[in-house]
Structure 1
Amino acid sequence: MSEPAVIKEQSLEAAPVTDGEFAAFMARLEPVGPDDATHPVCVAVSGGGDSMALAVLARRWRRNILALVVDHALRSESAEEAALTCRRLAALDIPARQLTLGTMKPGGLQERARDARFEALEAACVAAGSSSLLVAHHEADQEETLWMRQERGSGPRGLCGMAGRAIRGRIVLLRPLLTVRPERLRATLRQAGVAWCEDPSNQNRRFRRVAVRQDLTADERQQMHVLRKAACTAQQSDEQHLAALLARWSEWQPEGWVKLSSGIRQEALRDELLGRLIRLVGGQDYMPNRQAVAALWQAEHGALGRACLAPLRGRETGWMLYREARNLDDRAPAQKGQRWDGRWRYLGPERPECVIAALGQKKARLLRAGRDVSACVLPALPALWRGDDVVAVPEDSRGLCDDLPRVPFVWDSGAPLTGERSWKG
């Protein structure tokens, strides 16, 4: 296969990013960890100009990095394109690993591809001993993201844009280039004599981001920076308030549900807090929209985002928020480190004869013991199944027969409730 056409820009006005600048960008995102071969910093590389420049800069910054190149396997030529990128990286003394995604179900292809790409990158980072992944979003990406979020009516949280440092799953995403113009990244590659290629879809105006990229004026881009600064200031104040509300009005339960005190209804940020808790309990990547959360509070019971809100029973006042007992079809091998339903991670031991699946309503009724927890929370618990038999349940779960074997599960929704972002960069 011949190499894709390399973009050769004529403008030489933009200055390359210097090694000192990049080191300063990374210092703002600390902690990153030592330059250790057993814990490399990983870099997501597509082969385009932005990510290739990031790889070059990262390799100058420290010795032990690992480039991760994802082949989405959606086009016949994608495998060779990914292999070509790996060869280019090898020529730069950058070790690279090619990751090939499996077949994806039809419908919502872009979203599925994005989720599958991150899962592959996360797993590769963990396998390599890394807890950090560098991605190449730059200043123009940030401006375009903010413009589109403004169009959708995002609040301060969304208008803070992409964070320089954000926790996702078992790793930390680091975006050191958010203050760098893309022209400077191309200049960095030209100076280093490094080839790159462009995805033709980056010029396709059918995609909203492409149209925004081509149409935004310099003044409109500057407006996005003013908007973001104001949003970040407001959001930092809200984060502190939300942390205080969580401590005062909510109680996390070992079965993966939350007890909410009645006083939360009087708080100004109650909708934001409930939205974040729904994302947590439902194991979702994103919060439900604010209108839907407000409607749920209005009704004081109901389901949203795979979570259910219901009044506490007995003498207690307030509500319980728990994973609904529907859409629990996820089955996964009982392997150490396996994540299940976007909420739990199995810590072992390896049980090749078993699968991880929901306890389910029928088994929850049969195995329930005592009144320590409401019966409605038990069906969504993970359990180890061998054929039609439940052979183990999470070690900290209450309300189930004492003679059931217990195995270690930990909560791992991948999204902290507060303080998940770095406001730098």
Structure 2
Amino acid sequence: MKAEPVTDDEFAAFMARLEPLGPDEAGHPVCMAVSGGGDSMALAVLAGRWRRHVMALVVDHALRPESAEEAALTCCRLAALGIPARQLTLGTMKPGGLQKRAREARFEALEQACVAEGASVLLVAHHEADQEETLWMRQERGSGDRGLCGMAGRTVRGRVALLRPLLEVRPERLRATLRQAGVAWCEDPSNQNRRFRRVEVRQDLTSEQRQRMHDIRQRACASQRAKERELAALVARWVRWQPEGWVQLAPEAMTDDVLGRLIRLIGGQEYAPDRQSVEMLRRAGQGALGRACLAPLRGGVSGWMLYREARNLDEVVSARQGQCWDGRWRYLGPDRPGAVIAALGRRAGGLRKGRVVPACVLPSLPALWAGGELVAVPEGLEGLRPDLPRVTFVWDGGTPLTGERDWNG
């Protein structure tokens, strides 16, 4: 059966489900990640016909010799369609875990570009087959309901809303859309390399197996909706957030699901630790996992505290406005040439004031440093001497504890 192109009305309906999107203004474009491949080029064509003010962000991973030329060619093709584009080139990455680091670096570059353009929305071109393959791989790893809900149409990540309007569209229809529009695209040879598990799954899944993934996802989403409501009520009643980036948990909140999500939040991680590790930590009642530490509350108070561990706090970044540090804090002060953001670390003990904030929490706070000397600490946080110079940091753990996506399936 011949694949039909995606119509403009269809795409507008897909986007309407993902609102709010904000006004169609030059100062607030809708950005989209465009690799130059068939999926993202089709997204660009459809988005360019749907909305007046859009911006394509073309990432050159610099992992292949020809990647820069392909990115430049993609920008030219977009320009011919009347779609403005920015080419973003990633820096050199160390070997080992290359795909994961490339993915993280790509999103960081895309997020920064969105903010620079005044955009709060980023479109990506994941389609129905991508969803099926993701579900199959998660099932292989033994994912629970949360993982088997698959990719969401809308999620919040960092400072942008990540939108996937094409999750109900077959990839063959996206190629048909490009052919109808007379638009060429690039083919990434890695998409045919069976050394990658996703390529194997893509090439080997049968139509029956793909349909089974849809059925599994529907059941998982229904189950997860109920769990999310229960979790939100539990956290609201029994978890107490502290502005210094730690939490107090009443005994009623010590479930594996709550603890796992809090570890992800406090540790500034993209994903929660595996369920078995969380269960072991909960049973032990104290210990470290996912860059977070669990310890019983003191002073005769029943419950636990969870805070960022003092180890592995070696990230040092330039003190630029909007810079994120340690996956937890974002600097909102002015650019400070020559200064860097790093952990308060061992200096915290000598700067402590009072006992409102436990001493173990303070070393993981961000601070500005210049030439090895402390320049400033975050304003509005307790536990540090009031005479210290202050600058603005806000908590930005990337995703909320609950409600970061729609579980309606």
Shorter-normalised TM range: over 0.9
Hey, what's the Cα distance between the residues in 2 that align with 1:356 and 1:203?
42
Q: Secondary structure at the match of 2:360?
A: helix
Judge which range, 342-351 or 162-171, deviates more.
342-351
User: RMSD of the alignment, in Å?
Assistant: 1.1
Alignment of 1:154-233 (within 5 A): 154-233=143-222
Hey, what's the Cα distance between the residues in 2 that align with 1:348 and 1:341?
17
1:79 aligns with 2:87: no
1:369 is aligned to: 353
2:311 is aligned to: 326
1:404 aligns with 2:369: no
Deviation, 1:91, is 0.8
2:326 is aligned to: 341
Deviations 1:345-382 (A, max 9, x none): 01103322321110002x11111121111100000000
2:90 is aligned to: 101
> How high is the TM-score relative to the length of structure 2?
0.98
1:6 is aligned to: none
1:132 is aligned to: 121
One-letter amino acid matched to 1:352:
P
2:287 is aligned to: 302
Q: Is the 8 A contact 1:122 1:169 kept in 2?
A: yes
1:149 aligns with 2:149: no
Q: Which runs of 5+ in 1 are unaligned?
A: 1-11
1:26 is aligned to: 15
Q: Is the 8 A contact 1:39 1:128 kept in 2?
A: yes
Deviations 1:254-295 (A, max 9, x none): 110001112224xxxx11111110010000111100000000
Deviation, 1:391, is 2.3
Deviation, 1:34, is 1.5
Q: Secondary structure at the match of 2:337?
A: strand
Hey, what's the Cα distance between the residues in 1 that align with 2:335 and 2:195?
47
Deviation, 1:141, is 0.5
Deviations 1:183-212 (A, max 9, x none): 111111111111112111111111111111
1:389 aligns with 2:373: yes
Hey, what's the Cα distance between the residues in 2 that align with 1:143 and 1:175?
14
Deviation, 1:401, is 1.2
Hey, what's the Cα distance between the residues in 2 that align with 1:334 and 1:59?
36
1:14 is aligned to: 3
Identity %: 75
Q: Secondary structure at the match of 1:352?
A: coil
Q: Is the 8 A contact 1:28 1:424 kept in 2?
A: no
1:114 aligns with 2:103: yes
1:421 aligns with 2:405: yes
Q: Is the 8 A contact 2:378 2:391 kept in 1?
A: yes
Q: Is the 8 A contact 1:163 1:424 kept in 2?
A: no
Hey, what's the Cα distance between the residues in 2 that align with 1:127 and 1:35?
17
One-letter amino acid matched to 2:309:
E
CA distance change for structure 1 residues 132 and 424 in 2, over 3 Å: closer, same or farther? farther
Hey, what's the Cα distance between the residues in 1 that align with 2:241 and 2:401?
12
Hey, what's the Cα distance between the residues in 1 that align with 2:226 and 2:317?
40
Deviation, 1:387, is 2.1
One-letter amino acid matched to 2:350:
L
2:78 is aligned to: 89
**Aligned residue pairs, count:** 409
Alignment of 1:31-70 (within 5 A): 31-70=20-59
Hey, what's the Cα distance between the residues in 2 that align with 1:227 and 1:245?
27
> How high is the TM-score relative to the length of structure 1?
0.95
Deviation, 1:76, is 1.5
Q: Is the 8 A contact 1:53 1:188 kept in 2?
A: yes
Deviation, 1:424, is 5.5
Q: Is the 8 A contact 2:222 2:407 kept in 1?
A: no
One-letter amino acid matched to 1:355:
V
1:5 is aligned to: none
Hey, what's the Cα distance between the residues in 2 that align with 1:179 and 1:158?
18
1:238 is aligned to: 227
Q: Is the 8 A contact 1:164 1:424 kept in 2?
A: no
1:359 aligns with 2:348: no
Deviations 1:153-173 (A, max 9, x none): 000000000000000100011
One-letter amino acid matched to 2:113:
A
Q: Secondary structure at the match of 2:247?
A: strand
2:245 is aligned to: 256
1:7 is aligned to: none
Q: Secondary structure at the match of 1:353?
A: coil
Judge which range, 18-27 or 194-203, deviates more.
194-203
Deviations 1:285-334 (A, max 9, x none): 11100000000001100000000000011121110000000011111122
